Amino acid sequence: MTIAVVGLAAVAAVFTVFSKPSPVRALDNGVGKLPFMGWNTWNAYHCEISESIVLDNAKLIKSLGLLDAGYNYVNIDDCYSEKERSASGDIVASKDRFPSGMKNLTDQLHAMGFKAGIYSDSGWFTCQLYPGSYQNEDRDIQLFQDWGFDLLKYDNCAVPFDEVIKEGMVGKYARMAGAIDKLSKRTGKPPMLFSLCQWGREQPWLWARRFGQSWRTTDDTGPDWGAIRSIINQNSFYSWAADFYGYNDMDLLEVGNDGMTFEESKSHFTAWALMKSPLVISTDLTKATNETLTILKNTELIAIHQDPIVGTAVTPFRWGINPDWTNNFTHPAQYWSGETQDGVVFMLINVLDQPADMFFSLTESPWIRAGRQYSVRDLWSHTNNGTAVRNMTIHNVPPHGVAALLLKDAGDEPAGIQPPCARPEWCMDQNGTRIDQ
Ligand SMILES: *[C@@H]1O[C@H](CO)[C@@H](O)[C@H](O)[C@H]1NC(C)=O
Ligand SMILES: *[C@@H]1O[C@H](CO)[C@@H](O)[C@H](O)[C@H]1NC(C)=O
Ligand SMILES: *[C@@H]1O[C@H](CO)[C@@H](O)[C@H](O)[C@H]1NC(C)=O
Ligand SMILES: *[C@@H]1O[C@H](CO)[C@@H](O)[C@H](O)[C@H]1NC(C)=O
Ligand SMILES: *[C@@H]1O[C@H](CO)[C@@H](O)[C@H](O)[C@H]1NC(C)=O
Ligand SMILES: *[C@@H]1O[C@H](CO)[C@@H](O)[C@H](O)[C@H]1NC(C)=O
Protein backbone atom coordinates (compact mmCIF):
# COMPACT_ATOMS: atom_id res chain seq x y z
CA MET A 1 0.00 0.00 0.00
CA THR A 2 2.72 2.45 1.03
CA ILE A 3 4.70 1.47 -2.03
CA ALA A 4 1.72 2.16 -4.25
CA VAL A 5 1.28 5.62 -2.75
CA VAL A 6 4.96 6.47 -3.21
CA GLY A 7 4.71 5.23 -6.79
CA LEU A 8 1.74 7.48 -7.45
CA ALA A 9 3.51 10.45 -5.94
CA ALA A 10 6.49 9.85 -8.21
CA VAL A 11 4.24 9.65 -11.26
CA ALA A 12 2.49 12.85 -10.22
CA ALA A 13 5.83 14.61 -9.75
CA VAL A 14 6.99 13.60 -13.20
CA PHE A 15 3.69 14.76 -14.62
CA THR A 16 3.85 18.21 -13.08
CA VAL A 17 7.51 18.74 -13.97
CA PHE A 18 7.28 17.59 -17.56
CA SER A 19 3.72 17.93 -18.75
CA LYS A 20 3.20 21.60 -18.02
CA PRO A 21 2.68 23.31 -21.35
CA SER A 22 5.89 25.21 -22.04
CA PRO A 23 6.21 25.27 -25.80
CA VAL A 24 8.72 28.10 -26.01
CA ARG A 25 11.28 27.61 -23.28
CA ALA A 26 13.57 24.64 -23.58
CA LEU A 27 14.62 22.52 -20.64
CA ASP A 28 17.68 24.20 -19.13
CA ASN A 29 19.05 21.67 -16.68
CA GLY A 30 22.64 22.78 -17.17
CA VAL A 31 23.68 20.44 -20.00
CA GLY A 32 23.40 20.66 -23.75
CA LYS A 33 23.10 24.40 -24.33
CA LEU A 34 24.79 23.92 -27.72
CA PRO A 35 24.15 21.06 -30.16
CA PHE A 36 26.51 18.21 -29.30
CA MET A 37 29.30 16.89 -31.51
CA GLY A 38 30.84 13.45 -31.55
CA TRP A 39 31.11 10.04 -33.14
CA ASN A 40 28.68 7.09 -33.17
CA THR A 41 29.07 3.44 -34.14
CA TRP A 42 25.89 2.97 -36.18
CA ASN A 43 26.28 4.13 -39.80
CA ALA A 44 29.67 2.47 -40.30
CA TYR A 45 29.33 -0.66 -38.19
CA HIS A 46 25.64 -1.28 -37.40
CA CYS A 47 25.66 -4.24 -34.99
CA GLU A 48 29.25 -5.30 -35.73
CA ILE A 49 30.74 -3.27 -32.89
CA SER A 50 33.35 -3.96 -30.23
CA GLU A 51 35.41 -2.17 -27.63
CA SER A 52 38.42 -2.21 -29.94
CA ILE A 53 36.43 -0.58 -32.76
CA VAL A 54 35.27 2.12 -30.36
CA LEU A 55 38.74 2.70 -28.93
CA ASP A 56 40.50 2.63 -32.32
CA ASN A 57 38.12 5.27 -33.63
CA ALA A 58 38.46 7.31 -30.44
CA LYS A 59 42.24 7.35 -30.86
CA LEU A 60 41.79 8.54 -34.45
CA ILE A 61 39.27 11.23 -33.50
CA LYS A 62 42.00 12.54 -31.26
CA SER A 63 45.05 12.07 -33.52
CA LEU A 64 43.28 13.43 -36.61
CA GLY A 65 42.42 16.65 -34.77
CA LEU A 66 38.69 15.98 -34.63
CA LEU A 67 38.52 16.15 -30.83
CA ASP A 68 40.18 19.56 -31.01
CA ALA A 69 37.62 20.55 -33.66
CA GLY A 70 34.86 19.82 -31.11
CA TYR A 71 33.82 16.18 -31.63
CA ASN A 72 33.97 15.22 -27.97
CA TYR A 73 31.32 12.50 -27.50
CA VAL A 74 32.07 8.87 -28.38
CA ASN A 75 28.73 7.09 -28.55
CA ILE A 76 27.78 3.43 -28.72
CA ASP A 77 24.58 2.64 -30.58
CA ASP A 78 22.41 -0.52 -30.62
CA CYS A 79 23.76 -4.10 -30.10
CA TYR A 80 26.19 -3.58 -27.21
CA SER A 81 24.39 -5.84 -24.74
CA GLU A 82 23.42 -9.45 -24.16
CA LYS A 83 19.90 -10.35 -25.29
CA GLU A 84 18.78 -11.09 -21.72
CA ARG A 85 18.93 -9.00 -18.59
CA SER A 86 20.77 -10.45 -15.58
CA ALA A 87 18.93 -12.45 -12.90
CA SER A 88 18.67 -9.23 -10.88
CA GLY A 89 17.20 -7.39 -13.87
CA ASP A 90 20.09 -5.33 -15.18
CA ILE A 91 21.20 -4.91 -18.79
CA VAL A 92 24.44 -6.86 -19.30
CA ALA A 93 27.20 -5.65 -21.61
CA SER A 94 28.04 -8.16 -24.35
CA LYS A 95 30.86 -10.39 -23.13
CA ASP A 96 32.07 -10.93 -26.71
CA ARG A 97 31.96 -7.35 -27.92
CA PHE A 98 32.90 -5.51 -24.72
CA PRO A 99 34.93 -8.10 -22.74
CA SER A 100 36.62 -5.46 -20.54
CA GLY A 101 33.26 -4.05 -19.50
CA MET A 102 31.68 -0.68 -20.02
CA LYS A 103 33.28 1.05 -17.02
CA ASN A 104 36.69 0.14 -18.33
CA LEU A 105 35.76 1.59 -21.73
CA THR A 106 34.34 4.87 -20.44
CA ASP A 107 37.36 5.27 -18.13
CA GLN A 108 39.63 5.02 -21.15
CA LEU A 109 37.47 7.43 -23.16
CA HIS A 110 37.38 9.94 -20.32
CA ALA A 111 41.15 9.65 -19.90
CA MET A 112 41.51 10.58 -23.57
CA GLY A 113 39.38 13.68 -23.07
CA PHE A 114 36.05 12.37 -24.38
CA LYS A 115 32.57 12.05 -22.99
CA ALA A 116 30.78 8.78 -23.63
CA GLY A 117 27.31 7.98 -24.92
CA ILE A 118 25.12 4.90 -24.68
CA TYR A 119 21.88 3.83 -26.31
CA SER A 120 18.56 2.35 -25.24
CA ASP A 121 14.93 2.27 -26.30
CA SER A 122 11.69 3.63 -24.86
CA GLY A 123 9.87 0.34 -25.62
CA TRP A 124 10.23 -3.31 -24.63
CA PHE A 125 13.21 -3.89 -26.95
CA THR A 126 15.71 -1.93 -29.00
CA CYS A 127 15.28 -1.91 -32.79
CA GLN A 128 17.69 -4.87 -33.02
CA LEU A 129 15.73 -6.63 -30.24
CA TYR A 130 18.10 -6.18 -27.34
CA PRO A 131 16.53 -5.18 -24.00
CA GLY A 132 14.67 -1.86 -24.05
CA SER A 133 14.19 0.35 -21.00
CA TYR A 134 10.38 0.51 -20.75
CA GLN A 135 9.44 -0.03 -17.06
CA ASN A 136 13.17 -0.19 -16.25
CA GLU A 137 13.93 3.49 -16.71
CA ASP A 138 15.26 4.20 -13.20
CA ARG A 139 17.32 1.02 -13.04
CA ASP A 140 18.82 1.49 -16.49
CA ILE A 141 19.74 5.14 -16.20
CA GLN A 142 21.43 4.35 -12.88
CA LEU A 143 23.38 1.54 -14.59
CA PHE A 144 24.38 3.80 -17.49
CA GLN A 145 25.63 6.39 -15.02
CA ASP A 146 27.47 3.72 -13.01
CA TRP A 147 29.05 2.54 -16.28
CA GLY A 148 30.33 6.12 -16.72
CA PHE A 149 28.16 7.33 -19.59
CA ASP A 150 27.30 11.00 -20.07
CA LEU A 151 24.69 10.78 -22.85
CA LEU A 152 21.70 8.58 -23.67
CA LYS A 153 20.31 8.14 -27.19
CA TYR A 154 16.76 6.82 -26.77
CA ASP A 155 15.05 4.99 -29.63
CA ASN A 156 11.43 4.37 -30.55
CA CYS A 157 11.00 0.64 -31.36
CA ALA A 158 8.89 -2.09 -29.66
CA VAL A 159 6.13 0.21 -28.41
CA PRO A 160 4.02 -1.38 -25.64
CA PHE A 161 0.32 -2.00 -26.27
CA ASP A 162 -1.98 0.96 -25.59
CA GLU A 163 -3.71 -0.85 -22.73
CA VAL A 164 -0.33 -1.27 -21.04
CA ILE A 165 1.25 2.11 -21.60
CA LYS A 166 -1.86 4.34 -21.58
CA GLU A 167 0.33 7.14 -22.92
CA GLY A 168 1.20 8.66 -26.25
CA MET A 169 4.73 9.38 -27.45
CA VAL A 170 4.97 12.35 -25.10
CA GLY A 171 4.30 10.22 -22.04
CA LYS A 172 6.54 7.41 -23.27
CA TYR A 173 9.53 9.76 -23.50
CA ALA A 174 8.57 11.60 -20.28
CA ARG A 175 9.30 8.39 -18.35
CA MET A 176 13.04 8.41 -19.08
CA ALA A 177 13.24 12.20 -18.78
CA GLY A 178 11.82 11.82 -15.27
CA ALA A 179 14.32 9.07 -14.46
CA ILE A 180 17.24 11.24 -15.63
CA ASP A 181 15.99 14.16 -13.57
CA LYS A 182 15.50 12.05 -10.44
CA LEU A 183 18.92 10.40 -10.76
CA SER A 184 20.61 13.75 -11.10
CA LYS A 185 18.81 15.17 -8.07
CA ARG A 186 19.59 12.05 -6.02
CA THR A 187 23.29 11.85 -6.93
CA GLY A 188 24.08 15.53 -7.45
CA LYS A 189 25.72 14.64 -10.75
CA PRO A 190 24.88 16.57 -13.94
CA PRO A 191 21.92 15.08 -15.82
CA MET A 192 22.79 12.81 -18.69
CA LEU A 193 22.45 14.49 -22.08
CA PHE A 194 19.17 13.11 -23.47
CA SER A 195 19.13 12.56 -27.24
CA LEU A 196 15.59 11.55 -28.22
CA CYS A 197 15.37 9.32 -31.28
CA GLN A 198 11.69 9.49 -32.11
CA TRP A 199 11.96 9.83 -35.92
CA GLY A 200 9.71 12.90 -36.15
CA ARG A 201 6.42 11.16 -35.42
CA GLU A 202 3.91 13.32 -33.51
CA GLN A 203 6.00 16.47 -34.10
CA PRO A 204 8.68 16.14 -31.39
CA TRP A 205 9.91 19.66 -32.18
CA LEU A 206 6.77 20.80 -30.29
CA TRP A 207 7.33 18.77 -27.10
CA ALA A 208 10.71 17.04 -26.89
CA ARG A 209 12.48 20.16 -25.63
CA ARG A 210 10.70 19.60 -22.32
CA PHE A 211 12.57 16.31 -21.95
CA GLY A 212 15.94 16.51 -23.63
CA GLN A 213 18.43 18.46 -25.65
CA SER A 214 17.79 17.08 -29.14
CA TRP A 215 15.21 15.05 -31.00
CA ARG A 216 15.39 13.16 -34.27
CA THR A 217 13.01 14.66 -36.82
CA THR A 218 13.00 12.02 -39.57
CA ASP A 219 13.59 8.39 -40.38
CA ASP A 220 17.20 7.23 -40.62
CA THR A 221 19.43 8.88 -43.18
CA GLY A 222 21.46 7.00 -45.78
CA PRO A 223 24.77 7.55 -47.60
CA ASP A 224 23.18 9.04 -50.70
CA TRP A 225 21.97 12.43 -51.92
CA GLY A 226 18.38 11.17 -52.11
CA ALA A 227 18.25 10.69 -48.33
CA ILE A 228 20.07 13.94 -47.57
CA ARG A 229 17.87 16.18 -49.72
CA SER A 230 14.73 14.55 -48.33
CA ILE A 231 15.86 15.24 -44.74
CA ILE A 232 16.69 18.85 -45.69
CA ASN A 233 13.21 19.18 -47.21
CA GLN A 234 11.48 17.85 -44.10
CA ASN A 235 13.53 19.98 -41.73
CA SER A 236 12.90 23.13 -43.79
CA PHE A 237 9.42 23.19 -42.21
CA TYR A 238 10.63 23.19 -38.61
CA SER A 239 14.17 24.55 -38.60
CA TRP A 240 12.68 27.49 -36.64
CA ALA A 241 12.44 25.12 -33.64
CA ALA A 242 16.18 25.00 -32.89
CA ASP A 243 17.61 27.16 -30.12
CA PHE A 244 19.73 26.80 -26.98
CA TYR A 245 19.12 23.53 -25.10
CA GLY A 246 16.83 22.11 -27.79
CA TYR A 247 17.79 21.03 -31.33
CA ASN A 248 16.36 19.18 -34.30
CA ASP A 249 18.51 16.07 -34.84
CA MET A 250 18.81 15.36 -38.58
CA ASP A 251 20.55 12.02 -37.81
CA LEU A 252 24.17 10.85 -37.83
CA LEU A 253 26.51 12.19 -40.50
CA GLU A 254 27.24 10.09 -43.59
CA VAL A 255 30.39 12.06 -44.44
CA GLY A 256 33.11 9.50 -45.22
CA ASN A 257 30.74 6.69 -46.18
CA ASP A 258 30.56 5.65 -49.84
CA GLY A 259 27.69 6.96 -51.90
CA MET A 260 28.08 10.73 -52.21
CA THR A 261 30.21 13.10 -54.25
CA PHE A 262 32.50 15.59 -52.50
CA GLU A 263 30.03 18.38 -53.31
CA GLU A 264 27.07 16.38 -51.96
CA SER A 265 28.95 15.63 -48.76
CA LYS A 266 29.77 19.33 -48.35
CA SER A 267 26.08 20.22 -48.79
CA HIS A 268 25.14 17.53 -46.27
CA PHE A 269 27.62 18.81 -43.68
CA THR A 270 26.72 22.47 -44.29
CA ALA A 271 22.99 21.83 -43.81
CA TRP A 272 23.53 19.79 -40.63
CA ALA A 273 25.91 22.39 -39.17
CA LEU A 274 23.90 25.50 -40.01
CA MET A 275 20.56 23.91 -39.08
CA LYS A 276 22.14 23.17 -35.68
CA SER A 277 21.69 19.42 -35.80
CA PRO A 278 24.01 17.47 -33.53
CA LEU A 279 27.13 16.77 -35.64
CA VAL A 280 27.90 13.11 -35.10
CA ILE A 281 30.51 11.46 -37.32
CA SER A 282 29.54 7.90 -38.14
CA THR A 283 32.22 6.53 -40.39
CA ASP A 284 35.21 4.18 -40.06
CA LEU A 285 37.96 6.70 -39.41
CA THR A 286 40.71 4.21 -40.25
CA LYS A 287 39.61 4.81 -43.88
CA ALA A 288 39.05 8.57 -43.68
CA THR A 289 40.27 10.41 -46.78
CA ASN A 290 41.59 13.95 -46.92
CA GLU A 291 38.29 15.04 -48.44
CA THR A 292 36.39 13.53 -45.50
CA LEU A 293 38.64 15.32 -43.01
CA THR A 294 38.45 18.59 -44.96
CA ILE A 295 34.69 18.50 -44.58
CA LEU A 296 34.57 17.36 -40.95
CA LYS A 297 37.16 19.95 -39.94
CA ASN A 298 35.51 23.01 -41.48
CA THR A 299 36.18 25.15 -38.42
CA GLU A 300 34.29 28.15 -39.80
CA LEU A 301 31.05 26.16 -40.07
CA ILE A 302 31.68 24.51 -36.71
CA ALA A 303 32.16 27.93 -35.11
CA ILE A 304 28.63 28.88 -36.23
CA HIS A 305 27.26 25.49 -35.10
CA GLN A 306 28.81 26.13 -31.69
CA ASP A 307 27.91 29.86 -31.55
CA PRO A 308 27.59 30.65 -27.82
CA ILE A 309 25.55 33.82 -28.42
CA VAL A 310 23.02 32.77 -31.09
CA GLY A 311 21.36 29.34 -30.84
CA THR A 312 18.95 29.56 -33.76
CA ALA A 313 19.34 27.81 -37.11
CA VAL A 314 19.19 28.87 -40.73
CA THR A 315 15.69 28.86 -42.20
CA PRO A 316 14.61 29.17 -45.83
CA PHE A 317 13.73 32.62 -47.14
CA ARG A 318 12.97 31.37 -50.65
CA TRP A 319 12.45 27.86 -51.96
CA GLY A 320 13.87 28.56 -55.43
CA ILE A 321 12.72 26.49 -58.35
CA ASN A 322 9.59 25.47 -56.47
CA PRO A 323 7.11 27.95 -54.96
CA ASP A 324 7.72 28.83 -51.30
CA TRP A 325 6.51 26.20 -48.81
CA THR A 326 6.48 23.43 -51.42
CA ASN A 327 6.98 20.04 -49.79
CA ASN A 328 9.13 18.25 -52.36
CA PHE A 329 11.62 15.61 -51.29
CA THR A 330 13.80 15.84 -54.42
CA HIS A 331 13.87 19.65 -54.69
CA PRO A 332 13.98 21.16 -51.19
CA ALA A 333 14.24 24.84 -50.31
CA GLN A 334 17.41 26.35 -51.78
CA TYR A 335 17.87 29.82 -50.21
CA TRP A 336 18.45 29.94 -46.46
CA SER A 337 19.77 32.47 -43.95
CA GLY A 338 20.24 32.85 -40.23
CA GLU A 339 21.69 35.01 -37.50
CA THR A 340 25.12 34.41 -35.97
CA GLN A 341 27.17 36.36 -33.46
CA ASP A 342 29.41 37.51 -36.35
CA GLY A 343 26.90 38.36 -39.06
CA VAL A 344 24.26 36.82 -41.28
CA VAL A 345 24.98 33.36 -42.67
CA PHE A 346 23.57 32.25 -46.03
CA MET A 347 23.26 28.69 -47.31
CA LEU A 348 22.43 28.18 -50.99
CA ILE A 349 21.84 24.64 -52.20
CA ASN A 350 21.82 23.76 -55.89
CA VAL A 351 19.23 20.97 -56.02
CA LEU A 352 19.65 20.56 -59.79
CA ASP A 353 21.72 17.88 -61.54
CA GLN A 354 23.73 20.52 -63.42
CA PRO A 355 25.69 23.60 -62.32
CA ALA A 356 23.59 26.70 -61.63
CA ASP A 357 24.01 30.41 -60.97
CA MET A 358 22.17 31.37 -57.79
CA PHE A 359 20.94 34.94 -57.26
CA PHE A 360 19.41 36.58 -54.22
CA SER A 361 18.66 40.08 -52.99
CA LEU A 362 20.24 40.62 -49.58
CA THR A 363 17.07 41.93 -47.94
CA GLU A 364 15.16 38.79 -48.85
CA SER A 365 16.75 37.63 -45.60
CA PRO A 366 15.05 39.08 -42.52
CA TRP A 367 18.43 39.57 -40.85
CA ILE A 368 19.87 42.03 -43.40
CA ARG A 369 19.61 45.79 -42.87
CA ALA A 370 18.36 47.93 -45.75
CA GLY A 371 20.74 50.62 -46.97
CA ARG A 372 23.87 48.79 -45.78
CA GLN A 373 26.59 46.91 -47.59
CA TYR A 374 28.12 43.64 -46.44
CA SER A 375 31.54 42.04 -46.63
CA VAL A 376 31.38 38.44 -47.88
CA ARG A 377 33.25 35.50 -46.35
CA ASP A 378 33.12 32.19 -48.24
CA LEU A 379 32.99 29.46 -45.58
CA TRP A 380 34.23 26.72 -47.93
CA SER A 381 37.05 28.44 -49.82
CA HIS A 382 37.91 30.26 -46.57
CA THR A 383 38.45 33.53 -48.45
CA ASN A 384 37.11 37.07 -48.23
CA ASN A 385 35.14 37.71 -51.41
CA GLY A 386 34.64 41.45 -51.56
CA THR A 387 31.56 43.45 -50.68
CA ALA A 388 27.92 42.82 -51.56
CA VAL A 389 25.58 45.70 -52.29
CA ARG A 390 21.89 44.88 -52.61
CA ASN A 391 22.30 41.42 -54.12
CA MET A 392 24.66 38.58 -54.98
CA THR A 393 25.01 36.00 -57.73
CA ILE A 394 26.99 32.86 -56.96
CA HIS A 395 28.18 31.51 -60.29
CA ASN A 396 28.41 27.84 -61.15
CA VAL A 397 27.31 26.22 -57.92
CA PRO A 398 28.04 22.53 -58.68
CA PRO A 399 25.23 19.96 -59.05
CA HIS A 400 23.90 19.18 -55.52
CA GLY A 401 26.57 21.62 -54.27
CA VAL A 402 26.39 24.39 -51.71
CA ALA A 403 27.55 27.93 -51.07
CA ALA A 404 27.99 28.95 -47.44
CA LEU A 405 28.58 32.67 -46.94
CA LEU A 406 28.95 34.87 -43.88
CA LEU A 407 27.92 38.47 -44.53
CA LYS A 408 29.15 41.13 -42.14
CA ASP A 409 27.81 44.68 -42.00
CA ALA A 410 30.34 46.96 -43.70
CA GLY A 411 28.58 50.30 -43.33
CA ASP A 412 26.22 52.38 -45.44
CA GLU A 413 25.78 51.35 -49.05
CA PRO A 414 27.20 53.82 -51.61
CA ALA A 415 25.00 56.89 -52.12
CA GLY A 416 22.57 57.05 -55.00
CA ILE A 417 21.90 53.33 -55.51
CA GLN A 418 18.66 52.81 -57.40
CA PRO A 419 15.86 52.01 -56.88
CA PRO A 420 15.43 53.85 -53.54
CA CYS A 421 14.06 50.69 -51.88
CA ALA A 422 15.66 47.29 -52.53
CA ARG A 423 12.27 45.83 -51.60
CA PRO A 424 9.94 48.01 -53.70
CA GLU A 425 6.60 47.06 -52.15
CA TRP A 426 4.89 50.16 -50.68
CA CYS A 427 8.10 52.20 -51.02
CA MET A 428 7.26 55.88 -50.48
CA ASP A 429 8.94 59.27 -50.40
CA GLN A 430 8.34 61.34 -47.28
CA ASN A 431 6.32 63.72 -49.51
CA GLY A 432 3.76 60.98 -50.09
CA THR A 433 4.83 59.86 -53.57
CA ARG A 434 4.68 56.12 -53.95
CA ILE A 435 7.71 54.76 -55.88
CA ASP A 436 6.53 51.21 -56.66
CA GLN A 437 3.65 52.11 -58.98
C1 LIG B 1 40.73 -2.16 -19.19
O2 LIG B 1 40.81 -3.28 -20.01
C3 LIG B 1 42.06 -3.47 -20.58
C4 LIG B 1 41.96 -4.58 -21.58
O5 LIG B 1 41.28 -5.68 -21.02
C6 LIG B 1 43.08 -3.75 -19.48
O7 LIG B 1 44.37 -3.87 -20.04
C8 LIG B 1 43.08 -2.58 -18.52
O9 LIG B 1 43.89 -2.85 -17.43
C10 LIG B 1 41.69 -2.28 -18.05
N11 LIG B 1 41.71 -1.03 -17.33
C12 LIG B 1 41.12 -0.90 -16.18
C13 LIG B 1 41.21 0.49 -15.57
O14 LIG B 1 40.50 -1.77 -15.64
C1 LIG C 1 46.39 14.18 -47.44
O2 LIG C 1 46.87 15.27 -46.68
C3 LIG C 1 48.16 15.07 -46.14
C4 LIG C 1 48.45 16.22 -45.20
O5 LIG C 1 48.04 17.45 -45.75
C6 LIG C 1 49.15 14.94 -47.29
O7 LIG C 1 50.43 14.71 -46.77
C8 LIG C 1 48.75 13.76 -48.17
O9 LIG C 1 49.58 13.69 -49.30
C10 LIG C 1 47.30 13.91 -48.62
N11 LIG C 1 46.90 12.70 -49.29
C12 LIG C 1 46.23 12.73 -50.44
C13 LIG C 1 45.85 11.40 -51.00
O14 LIG C 1 45.93 13.76 -51.01
C1 LIG D 1 9.53 18.27 -57.19
O2 LIG D 1 9.94 19.46 -57.82
C3 LIG D 1 10.47 19.28 -59.11
C4 LIG D 1 10.96 20.64 -59.60
O5 LIG D 1 9.91 21.55 -59.61
C6 LIG D 1 9.41 18.68 -60.01
O7 LIG D 1 9.96 18.44 -61.28
C8 LIG D 1 8.92 17.37 -59.41
O9 LIG D 1 7.87 16.86 -60.18
C10 LIG D 1 8.46 17.58 -58.00
N11 LIG D 1 8.14 16.30 -57.40
C12 LIG D 1 6.97 16.03 -56.90
C13 LIG D 1 6.79 14.69 -56.31
O14 LIG D 1 6.05 16.84 -56.93
C1 LIG E 1 35.43 33.38 -53.31
O2 LIG E 1 36.73 33.45 -53.79
C3 LIG E 1 37.40 32.20 -53.88
C4 LIG E 1 38.84 32.47 -54.25
O5 LIG E 1 38.90 33.19 -55.42
C6 LIG E 1 36.67 31.33 -54.86
O7 LIG E 1 37.30 30.06 -54.91
C8 LIG E 1 35.24 31.16 -54.42
O9 LIG E 1 34.50 30.42 -55.35
C10 LIG E 1 34.59 32.52 -54.21
N11 LIG E 1 33.26 32.34 -53.63
C12 LIG E 1 32.17 32.85 -54.16
C13 LIG E 1 30.90 32.63 -53.40
O14 LIG E 1 32.16 33.48 -55.18
C1 LIG F 1 21.87 44.20 -57.91
O2 LIG F 1 22.40 45.28 -57.17
C3 LIG F 1 22.95 46.29 -57.97
C4 LIG F 1 23.58 47.31 -57.03
O5 LIG F 1 24.68 46.73 -56.40
C6 LIG F 1 21.89 46.93 -58.85
O7 LIG F 1 22.47 47.89 -59.69
C8 LIG F 1 21.25 45.83 -59.68
O9 LIG F 1 20.17 46.38 -60.41
C10 LIG F 1 20.75 44.71 -58.80
N11 LIG F 1 20.27 43.63 -59.63
C12 LIG F 1 19.06 43.13 -59.50
C13 LIG F 1 18.70 42.07 -60.46
O14 LIG F 1 18.30 43.51 -58.65
C1 LIG G 1 8.10 63.88 -54.15
O2 LIG G 1 8.90 62.70 -54.25
C3 LIG G 1 9.15 62.23 -55.56
C4 LIG G 1 9.93 60.90 -55.44
O5 LIG G 1 11.05 61.05 -54.60
C6 LIG G 1 9.88 63.30 -56.37
O7 LIG G 1 10.12 62.81 -57.66
C8 LIG G 1 9.07 64.56 -56.39
O9 LIG G 1 9.81 65.57 -57.02
C10 LIG G 1 8.70 65.02 -55.00
N11 LIG G 1 7.80 66.13 -55.09
C12 LIG G 1 7.95 67.24 -54.41
C13 LIG G 1 6.92 68.27 -54.60
O14 LIG G 1 8.90 67.43 -53.65
User: pLDDT digits over 96-126, tens only?
Assistant: 999 999 999 999 999 999 999 999 999 999 9
Whether 155 is catalytic is yes
The DSSP bridge partners found for residue 361 are: 391
Q: DSSP string spanning 181-193?
A: HHHHHHH-SPPPE
Q: Is the CB of 424 under 6 A from ligand 5?
A: no
User: What's the pLDDT tens digit per position in 224-243?
Assistant: 999 999 999 999 999 999 99
Q: Determine the distance separating the centroid of ligand 5 and the alpha carbon of 180, expressed in angstroms.
A: 55
Residue 387 sits at the vertex; the CA angle it makes with 381 and 391, to the nearest 5 degrees, is 100
pLDDT of residue 68: 98
Cis peptide, bond prior to residue 414, ω within 30 of zero:
no
Q: Determine the distance separating the centroid of ligand 6 and the alpha carbon of 420, expressed in angstroms.
A: 12
pLDDT of residue 26: 67
Tell whether the model's pLDDT for residue 8 goes beyond 80: no
Question: Which residue has a Cα nearest atom 12 of ligand 1?
Answer: 104
Tell whether the model's pLDDT for residue 337 goes beyond 50: yes
The DSSP bridge partners found for residue 389 are: 373, 391
User: How many other β-carbons are positioned within 10 Å of the β-carbon of residue 16?
Assistant: 9
Segment 134-143 mean pLDDT: 98
Q: Is the CB of 329 under 6 A from ligand 3?
A: no
Catalytic residue from among 90, 219, 220, 342: 220
Q: Percent of the chain, pLDDT > 90?
A: 92
pLDDT of residue 242: 98
Q: Determine the distance separating the centroid of ligand 1 and the alpha carbon of 107, expressed in angstroms.
A: 9
pLDDT of residue 29: 78
pLDDT of residue 2: 37
Domains and CATH numbers, the chain: 21-305 (3.20.20.70), 315-412 (2.60.40.1180)
pLDDT of residue 33: 97
Ligand 4 atom, smallest distance to 395 CA: 14
Question: Which residue has a Cα nearest atom 3 of ligand 6?
Answer: 433
Q: Residue 25 — very low, low, confident or very high, per pLDDT cuts 50/70/90?
A: low
pLDDT of residue 90: 98
Whether 429 is catalytic is no
Tell whether the model's pLDDT for residue 21 goes beyond 90: no
Instruction: Give, for ligand 3, the residue of 230, 319, 328, 352 to mutate: max count of ligand atoms closer than 8 Å to Cβ.
Output: 328
Find the ligand nearest to 360 CA. 5
Segment 384-406 mean pLDDT: 98
User: Are β-strands 73-75 and 115-121 bridged in parallel, bridged antiparallel, or unpaired?
Assistant: parallel
